[in-house]
Amino acid sequence: MNATLHRIAILIRKELIAILKDPRSRLVLVLPVVLQSLLFGYAATFDLNEVPYALLDTDRSNASTQFMAQVDGSGVFTRVANLTSASQIGETIGKKRAILVIHVPFNFERDIESGRGGVVQVIADGRNSNTGNVAASYVTAAVDRFNTQWNELRGGPTPALTIQTRAWYNPNMETRWAMIPALIGALSMLQVLMLSALSVAREREQGTFDQLLVTPLRPTEIMFGKAVPPILIGLTQSSIIFLVARFWFGIPFQGSLITLYSGLLLFTTAAVGIGLALSAFSKTMQQAMLYTFVLLMPMMLLSGLTSAISNMPPAMQYLTYANPLRYAIDLVRRVYLEGASFGYLYHDMWPLVIIALVTLPMARWLFRHRLV
Amino acid sequence: MNGGAGDLIVQGEALTKRFARQKNDTITALDHVSFGARHGTLTALVGPDGAGKTTLLRLAAGLMKPDEGTLTVIGLDAARQPQAIQDRISYMPQRFGLYEDLSVQENLDLYADLHGVSHEQRAERYPRLMEMTALAPFLDRLAGQLSGGMKQKLGLACTLVRSPELLLLDEPTVGVDPLSRRELWDIVSGLVENEGLSVLVSTSYMDEAERCAHVVVLHEGKVLASGPPDELRSRADGHSFFVISQRQEPARKLQAELIDRPDVIDAVPQGGQVRVVLREREPLSLEGATLEATPPNLEDSLMMLLRQETHVRPAANAALELVKKEAQGHDVVIEVHDLVRKFGDFTAVNRTSFEVKRGEVFGLLGPNGAGKTTTFRMLCGLLPATSGTLRVAGADLRRARAEARQNIGYVAQKFSLYGDISVLENLQFFAGAYGLRNSRAEQRIEWAMENFELKQRATSTAGSLPGGFQRRLAMAAALLHEPAIVFLDEPTSGADPLARREFWRRIGSLADHGTTIVVTTHFMEEAEYCDRIMIQDAGTMLAIGTPEEVRKQAGEADRPARSMEEAFIGIVEHARERAQRQEHAA
């Protein structure tokens, strides 16, 4: 037992020296995750600010001015043009000068006052459906506020139904709050997969793996020795992103660090298992790289990072069950934003354990049986 | 072509080239080198590793500029008109860039395209090249699947797709077996004789240099001597002898004893005797042995030249400090019975049986692709056998517990330690992997650094070391745990004569202290250092026994083969003819 631990420690030491010896490779382990988490934090957001819109007000009434005050006062819209005729709409949207055109028709005020109800037309640029949708929904909110205000002032009847939305765990519904914690798993997985996928393949290609196999090191010992260094590096990277989330973006951490790190440990181990199995299967580094890249894109897409898993077709949803990142993102978001404890994370944890228990022994077996 | 046969096609005057290794650390690769190569002849550059052979060839190819001095190639200044030179010469570097995933034909076409060889020229040139290299039956085979010797021939063919005025070859026969080596040289000599090609070739084989018209001996960037082989040989006149021993012991023991003596410049086992070069012309008196004068060869004079350099250490210093191993258990440490290994339809090793005794030096000889490495990998437990049994130190390493691997040391054919970590870190890792700890590990690492002269490079990354250091480091790492059996796959491939003598001195001291050695080699004369040898070709065992027995087997009844190379070529060619006859009969 003692001898086994000593041999594993020796292999871990060698791996860490090989990874960390070069100052440039040390930098590569730290700098990209910091830059990427900043990039995602600022660039990857579905929230809209300063939506450029154009107004075509053909009514020019008191009511239309009041309505537009609601739109402009919401703080998300910037008026880029005042149109004078409907014929200008096409060009305004077509040349992307505005995402929306709000058209207040002639007789708007008279229609409201007569009780028939006014109509506002919103023309959105559908080429980016997501942005168009969100922008249109902001206009709807402005319409709601206008209705309430109008009724209050005129003493009219209050509407039968009003909605009061309160978002739990992310009060302002900021994309960033959902995105950055998910990156704690997603970004570190990139490096972890790469490191582990190259580790055995590199040794195979350079002939050092034979040298390793003729030593008394057992396949199980090689497995542990090869798995621990990328796990450590993955956890370090997760910690860096965690610090960026907590202190740069100031997203409050609701859960316990012990829960978070237990989950991350399981996730990173599962990812390393996949990487090592790929690596042990590859004949060359080039093959290992190729397998990793082929795998990475679907893993990112089918993880719930950008699009909700519940919206995917059922077949795709089944695929996500084999993806460790799916569980990691759910787990980290819940620990981070919701403060979930172990009991609530059980269903995210056991699949990770299964993935690790399948892939790591597979890698272990391939070390000696994959002959190249 | 310009000029007659007597003119110099390459002429260097006081060439100096320095390289910055690290900050404040420059190596002088060439130090005021003046030399010349004549039109229509073969000129050899010889000398140990680090002599500057490759640098000189790269300067001649116009790939680098000298720091000082002038170099004229086919009448052009190499520093000023490299492109004009490159248009008219061909250069084959040590690692020629064959595309392993392309077929032989595709490689040829690619190089013809690169050199802008027209289709008419190809139609005339290709058949010539195929005739020379005998590659015609393999045109569709991927280059990666060719044997080492065939790859070199293809490399040469690609280099010769156009007809150059000057051919530069950098160690074209490293890692190539004697048969292929002889074929390669026949091609090159044919080109010189029939087409008047001028060739400048670097080599560490002295028998190859003997075939050249002019030899330049380089050592650490300086020219030690130059001239026709005859003239160089005559420097050792009267110094070369055969020692004929009446002692009943392997020639390698007498060789080790002789090479350790200060009055002996060089000693190598040859044909069951020991060939020596003495410092003085007087024969030395030796108990139980007589000396017989023999005409010197080029290697004798090279060794004389090198030993005159004060800082070339004698091979005796390479003898290892070892503790004698107590004999325990069986006397037979390796047993192989009916061993077979197939890869699909291809039989790499066919029904091979042999035994190796404790403390024996056992040599596996064979041309490229003979199955030596496959046999090796099975013995070390890296590859399962298709059928048959094998036991190494009482266990089948493929199935035995991991502890059984403690008994063996393994040195792979190509450098297989970790290139990106330091020498010391490599040794620490392998010491740990073999379960050596604390003071024991320190003690063994110290031993390795001391005995393999690695101290001054302890902190360099292993990948940045020159070849000679890498070979020593690989061997040191394999010996840290004092294994009972050491496997060495082509350990002297690409090594210069000095390094080879040191290597065999180390092997000798290991065997004398009870370590069993299994070694593969391309150098047939090195078989003489072995107690017993086995010759394989195409997976089949052709001969086994002491070098003496194998030489007898190869020769006629009354006249055994003179040299091991002759014996080897005889045995392999004989077996190939027999196989062909059987094929025809069937």
Look at residue B325 and tell me whether its pLDDT is greater than 80.
Answer: no
Say if the Cβ atoms of A11 and B377 lie within 8 Å. no
CA distance B154 to B152: 5
The answer to whether residue B341 neighbours chain A at the CB level (below 8 Å) is no
Taking residues B445-465, report their average pLDDT. Answer: 91
What are the backbone angles phi and psi of residue B350, rounded to the nearest 5°?
A: -120, 110
Look at residue B2 and tell me whether its pLDDT is greater than 50.
Answer: no
Of the candidates A7, A21, A207, the beta carbon closest to that of B432 is on: A7
- How far away is chain A from the Cα of B107, in angstroms, using its nearest Cα? 22
Residue B327 is predicted with a pLDDT of: 62
- How far away is chain B from the Cα of A280, in angstroms, using its nearest Cα? 15
Do the Cβ atoms of A321 and A349 come closer than 8 Å?
no
Strand order across the beta sheet in which A51-57 lies: A77-82, A51-57, A100-104, A121-124
Of the candidates B416, B433, B435, the beta carbon closest to that of A210 is on: B416
Contacts by A80-85 with C-beta closer than 8 Å and gap 24+?
A: A80/A52, A80/A53, A80/A54, A81/A54, A81/A55, A82/A54, A82/A55, A82/A56, A82/A57, A83/A54, A83/A55, A83/A56, A84/A56, A85/A56
Residue B551 is predicted with a pLDDT of: 86
Continuous segment of H or E residues that includes residue B43: strand B42-46
- How far away is chain B from the Cα of A221, in angstroms, using its nearest Cα? 10
- How far away is chain A from the Cα of B411, in angstroms, using its nearest Cα? 8
User: Tokens 């003071």 — which residue?
Assistant: B439
Say if the Cβ atoms of A6 and B435 lie within 8 Å. yes
Look at residue B58 and tell me whether its pLDDT is greater than 70.
Answer: yes
Residue A115 is predicted with a pLDDT of: 78
Distance of CA B504 to the CA centre of its chain: 13
User: Distances in Å between the alpha carbon of A274 and those of A8, A280, B162?
Assistant: 20, 10, 50
Say if the Cβ atoms of B416 and A11 lie within 8 Å. no
Of the candidates B408, B417, B434, the beta carbon closest to that of A208 is on: B417
For every residue of B341-404, DSSP letters joined together read: EEETTEEEEEEEEEEEETT-EEEEE--TTSSHHHHHHHHTTSS--SEEEEEETTB-TTTS-GGG
Continuous segment of H or E residues that includes residue B56: helix B53-60
Q: How far apart are the first and last CA of chain B?
A: 53
Query: How does residue B560 score in pLDDT terms, banded at 50, 70 and 90?
Result: low
| Residue B559 CB burial class (10 angstroms; 0-12, 13-18, ≥19) | exposed
Residue B315 is predicted with a pLDDT of: 67
What are the backbone angles phi and psi of residue B127, rounded to the nearest 5°?
A: -60, -40
Q: Where are the domains of chain B?
A: 8-232, 235-312, 332-418+485-581
For residue B286, the cross-strand partners are B289
Query: How does residue B158 score in pLDDT terms, banded at 50, 70 and 90?
Result: very high
The answer to whether residue B376 neighbours chain A at the CB level (below 8 Å) is no
pTM for this predicted structure: 0.83
Look at residue B513 and tell me whether its pLDDT is greater than 50.
Answer: yes
Query: Smallest Cα–Cα separation from B576: which of B539, B548, B545, B544?
Result: B539
Residue B130 is predicted with a pLDDT of: 87
| A14 token code pair | 């060698």
Residue B573 is predicted with a pLDDT of: 84
CATH architecture of the domain with residue range B8-232: 3-Layer(aba) Sandwich (3.40)
- Among B residues 540-579, those touching chain A with beta carbons less than 8 Å apart: none
Of the candidates B419, B428, B429, the beta carbon closest to that of A206 is on: B419
pLDDT tens digits in sequence order for chain A, 372 residues long: 788 999 999 999 999 999 998 888 889 889 999 999 999 888 877 777 788 899 999 988 888 888 888 888 877 888 999 999 888 998 888 888 888 899 999 888 888 888 788 888 999 888 877 778 888 888 888 888 888 888 887 776 766 777 777 888 887 778 888 889 999 999 999 989 999 999 999 999 888 999 999 999 999 999 999 999 999 999 999 999 999 999 999 999 999 999 999 999 999 999 999 999 999 999 899 999 999 999 999 999 999 888 888 888 998 899 999 999 999 999 999 999 999 988 889 999 999 999 999 999 999 999 988 876
User: Chain-wide mean pLDDT for chain B?
Assistant: 87
Of the candidates A9, A208, A218, the beta carbon closest to that of B418 is on: A208
Domains observed in chain A: 2-44+174-369 (no CATH), 51-154 (3.40.1710.10)
The answer to whether residue B382 neighbours chain A at the CB level (below 8 Å) is yes
- Among A residues 239-298, those touching chain B with beta carbons less than 8 Å apart: none
Which ipTM value was assigned to this complex? 0.81
Chain A contact set for B429 (CB, 8 A) = 10-11, 13-14
| Secondary structure letter of residue B533 according to DSSP | E
Distance of CA B135 to the CA centre of its chain: 24
Spell B511-548 as b/e; 16+ CB within 10 A means b: bbebbbbbbbbbbbbbbbbbbbbbbbbbbbbbbbeebe
Strand residue runs (E) in B83-165:
89-92
Do the Cβ atoms of B75 and B42 come closer than 8 Å?
no
Interacting residues of A355 by C-beta distance below 8 A, sequence separation 6+: A270, A273, A274, A322, A324
Do the Cβ atoms of B225 and B305 come closer than 8 Å?
yes
Helix, coil or strand: residue B155: helix
- Among A residues 6-65, those touching chain B with beta carbons less than 8 Å apart: 6-7, 9-11, 13-14, 17-18, 21-22
Of the candidates B383, B402, B425, the beta carbon closest to that of A216 is on: B402
| A-chain residue closest to B400, CA distance | A216
Do the Cβ atoms of B363 and B564 come closer than 8 Å?
no
| A13 token code pair | 């030491």
| B81 token code pair | 């008109």
Look at residue B488 and tell me whether its pLDDT is greater than 60.
Answer: yes
The answer to whether residue B418 neighbours chain A at the CB level (below 8 Å) is yes
Q: Is the domain defined by B332-418+485-581 classed in CATH 3.20.20.370?
A: no
CA distance B434 to B432: 5
Q: Is A102 left (phi over 0), alpha (psi -120 to 50) or beta?
A: beta
Q: Are strands B222-227 and B214-219 parallel, antiparallel or unpaired?
A: antiparallel
Continuous segment of H or E residues that includes residue B212: none
| A-chain residue closest to B438, CA distance | A6
CA distance A202 to A210: 12
Instruction: Name the residue type at position A211.
Output: Q
Of the candidates A17, A215, A371, the beta carbon closest to that of B434 is on: A215
User: Distances in Å between the alpha carbon of B546 and those of A208, B358, B535?
Assistant: 33, 15, 11
What are the backbone angles phi and psi of residue A175, rounded to the nearest 5°?
A: -55, -40
Look at residue B1 and tell me whether its pLDDT is greater than 60.
Answer: no
CA distance B469 to B454: 7
Chain B contact set for A14 (CB, 8 A) = 418, 421, 425, 429
- Among A residues 180-209, those touching chain B with beta carbons less than 8 Å apart: 206-208
Q: What angle do CA A121, A125, A130 make, to 5 degrees?
A: 110
Say if the Cβ atoms of B418 and A216 lie within 8 Å. no
Q: State pLDDT tens for residues B126-153.
A: 988 888 888 888 889 888 888 777 888 8
Handedness of CA B572, B573, B579, B583 (dihedral sign): positive
The CATH number corresponding to B235-312 among 1.10.8, 3.30.70, 3.30.310, 1.10.1740 equals 3.30.70
Q: Do domains B8-232 and B332-418+485-581 have the same CATH topology?
A: yes
Chain B contact set for A211 (CB, 8 A) = 410, 412, 416-417
Residue B421 is predicted with a pLDDT of: 93
- How far away is chain B from the Cα of A364, in angstroms, using its nearest Cα? 15
Query: How does residue B307 score in pLDDT terms, banded at 50, 70 and 90?
Result: confident
Chain B contact set for A285 (CB, 8 A) = none
Interacting residues of B548 by C-beta distance below 8 A, sequence separation 6+: B272, B560
Strand residue runs (E) in B417-563:
485-489, 516-521, 532-537, 540-545
Say if the Cβ atoms of A6 and B437 lie within 8 Å. yes
